């Protein structure tokens, strides 16, 4: 009964499914639209009205259906050039700690993050509680401790590991028709974002997933990853995100109250083992925003943040420099002048949808990524940010 009415409320808020999510730089995601603490109940009515009004104002396109992409024609010469480049990247010698060392000069402002994920036995430091989500867990000690209890203990570092190549696969339409799937599968660590699907698109995007980085609203509604070594890396944007994580780990219901704070339907089940759930250290996001993108120090406003939340794509790239030695990106970037180019590899939204983006500072991210690619720190396999093989 309770679940029934929660569902109704959620539909009201939902507005659109896939159409609304993931509309930024890397084709990844928009940030939080909600205040980060549960406001008291007396605020609920004005809050809900505001949500509905702002959704109406946004006039979001109503794409409810999950469409298979129409065929795109890619210039065969360009396609061959991309494939040759990816093969070259894969055959180059893997240089230990390369990406992290090359990025070090950018990190002048603070010390590198000690651990990219938080575990049951992680020793929490004060830095972690300096800011509200997604930059930290200010005021959320209790939520954090409840979730950490459910998570595995950190893996023992077994000394030296083999040199690893990461690829962060963005959700950009630029991947369509390039047939890079088999090549992307050859990377040691494949990081995917939110609900970026694999099943029907494996020819272009591969079918292995090592890390799926997501927040509740972005998480796949239909789970497709079957890899035994997969990690689901949860990113926290608001306190109810902790409740969602706790619910999917323990396979319990999400409370009716919590449902009101998600801006889009969230999955109630994630069919993976408890040991596969991971919690992103918010310092990865804080470092991405403050040290790498040089965004202003977070100041909280009632409606989220002031274009200073990095996209999930750039945050994943920072994460990749911690878990891998060499880092590549694929499916990042787009050309806003090409309004009819596909925005994502899995739907038929066009660039026009992208123009609605307001939460992220897409331009700053693009400049930053371009700098990383042109300096050789990171390779852009599909050339959407900077094409070094064109
Ligand atoms: C990927 O596809 C190949 C070939 O179809 C299959 O053998 C393999 O099991 C798939 N891997 C995953 C993780 O789904
Ligand atoms: C974007 O597309 C337009 C039109 O096709 C083209 O003129 C322009 O050079 C492109 N910009 C970039 C940065 O690729």
Residue-wise pLDDT tens digits, 344-361: 898 877 666 555 555 567
Residue nearest to atom 7 of ligand 1 (CA): 207
Ligand 1 mean position, distance from CA 188 (Å): 15
**Structure token digits, residue 230:** 């997969």
Are 365 and 373 in contact by the 8 Å Cβ rule? The answer is: no
Ligand 1 mean position, distance from CA 169 (Å): 17
Are 166 and 189 in contact by the 8 Å Cβ rule? The answer is: yes
CB proximity list for 201: less than 8 A, separation 6 or greater: 69, 181, 345, 346
Pocket test for ligand 2, best of 78, 174, 337, 374 (most atoms within 8 A of CB): 337
Fold of 2-380: sialyltransferase cstii, chain A (3.90.1480)
Give, for all 390 residues of the chain, the pLDDT tens digit: 333 333 333 333 333 333 333 333 333 444 444 444 444 556 666 566 655 555 544 434 444 344 444 456 778 898 999 999 999 999 999 999 999 999 876 656 667 788 899 999 999 988 899 998 999 999 999 999 999 999 999 877 666 789 999 999 999 999 999 999 999 999 999 999 999 999 999 999 999 999 999 999 999 999 999 999 999 999 999 999 999 999 999 999 998 888 888 988 899 999 999 999 999 999 999 999 999 999 888 876 545 556 688 999 999 999 999 999 999 999 998 755 566 677 889 887 766 655 555 556 788 899 999 999 999 999 999 999 999 998
Ligand 2 mean position, distance from CA 334 (Å): 9
pLDDT at 13: 35
Residues with CB under 6 Å of ligand 1 are 207-208, 226-227
CA dist., res. 300 & res. 163, Å (int): 40
pLDDT at 106: 61
Residue nearest to atom 10 of ligand 1 (CA): 207
Q: Is the CB of 340 under 6 A from ligand 2?
A: no
Say how many C-beta atoms besides its own lie within 10 A of residue 194's C-beta: 22
User: What is the pTM assigned to this prediction?
Assistant: 0.80
CA dist., res. 345 & res. 69, Å (int): 7
Q: Is the CB of 336 under 6 A from ligand 2?
A: no
Say how many C-beta atoms besides its own lie within 10 A of residue 1's C-beta: 5
pLDDT at 351: 63
pLDDT at 50: 59
Residue corresponding to tokens 């619910």: 247
pLDDT at 108: 60
Ligand 2 mean position, distance from CA 151 (Å): 46
pLDDT at 71: 52
Ligand 2 mean position, distance from CA 336 (Å): 8
pLDDT at 20: 36
Are 84 and 383 in contact by the 8 Å Cβ rule? The answer is: no
Pocket test for ligand 1, best of 199, 207, 210, 226 (most atoms within 8 A of CB): 207
Helix (H) or strand (E) holding 243: helix 239-250
Ligand 1 mean position, distance from CA 247 (Å): 30
């Amino acid at each position: 009964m309770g679940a029934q009415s929660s569902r109704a409320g959620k539909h009201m808020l939902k507005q659109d499914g896939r159409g609304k999510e993931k509309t930024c730089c890397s084709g990844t995601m928009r940030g939080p639209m909600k205040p980060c603490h549960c406001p008291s109940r007396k605020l609920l009515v004005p809050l809900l009205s505001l949500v509905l009004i702002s959704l109406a104002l946004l006039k979001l396109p109503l794409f409810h259906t999950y469409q298979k992409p129409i065929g795109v024609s890619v210039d065969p010469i360009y396609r061959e050039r991309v494939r040759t480049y990816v093969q070259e990247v894969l055959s180059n010698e893997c240089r230990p700690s390369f990406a992290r060392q090359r990025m070090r000069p950018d990190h002048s402002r603070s010390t590198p993050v000690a651990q990219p994920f938080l575990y049951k036995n992680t020793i929490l430091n004060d830095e972690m509680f300096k800011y509200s989500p997604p930059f930290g867990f200010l005021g959320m000690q209790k939520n954090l401790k409840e979730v950490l209890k459910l998570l595995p203990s950190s893996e023992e570092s077994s000394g030296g590991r083999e040199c690893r190549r990461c690829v962060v696969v963005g959700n950009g339409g630029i991947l369509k028709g390039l047939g890079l799937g088999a090549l992307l599968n050859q990377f040691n660590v494949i990081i995917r974002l939110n609900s970026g699907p694999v099943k029907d698109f494996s020819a272009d995007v591969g079918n292995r997933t090592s890390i799926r980085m997501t927040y509740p609203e972005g998480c796949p509604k239909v789970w497709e990853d079957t890899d035994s070594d997969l990690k689901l890396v949860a990113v926290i944007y608001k306190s109810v995100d902790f409740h969602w994580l706790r619910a999917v780990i323990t396979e319990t219901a999400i409370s009716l109250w919590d449902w009101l704070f998600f801006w889009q339907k969230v999955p109630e089940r994630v069919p993976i083992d408890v040991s596969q759930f991971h919690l992103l250290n918010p310092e990865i996001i804080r470092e991405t925003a403050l040290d790498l993108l040089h965004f202003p120090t977070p100041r909280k406003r009632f409606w989220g943040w002031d274009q200073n939340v990095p996209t999930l794509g750039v945050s994943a790239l920072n994460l990749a420099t911690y878990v891998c030695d060499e880092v590549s990106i694929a499916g990042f970037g787009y050309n806003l002048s090409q309004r009819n180019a596909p925005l994502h590899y899995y739907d038929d939204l066009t660039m026009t949808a992208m123009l609605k983006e307001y939460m992220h500072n897409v331009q700053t991210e693009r400049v930053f990524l371009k700098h990383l690619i042109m300096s050789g720190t990171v390779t852009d396999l599909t050339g959407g940010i900077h094409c070094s093989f064109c």
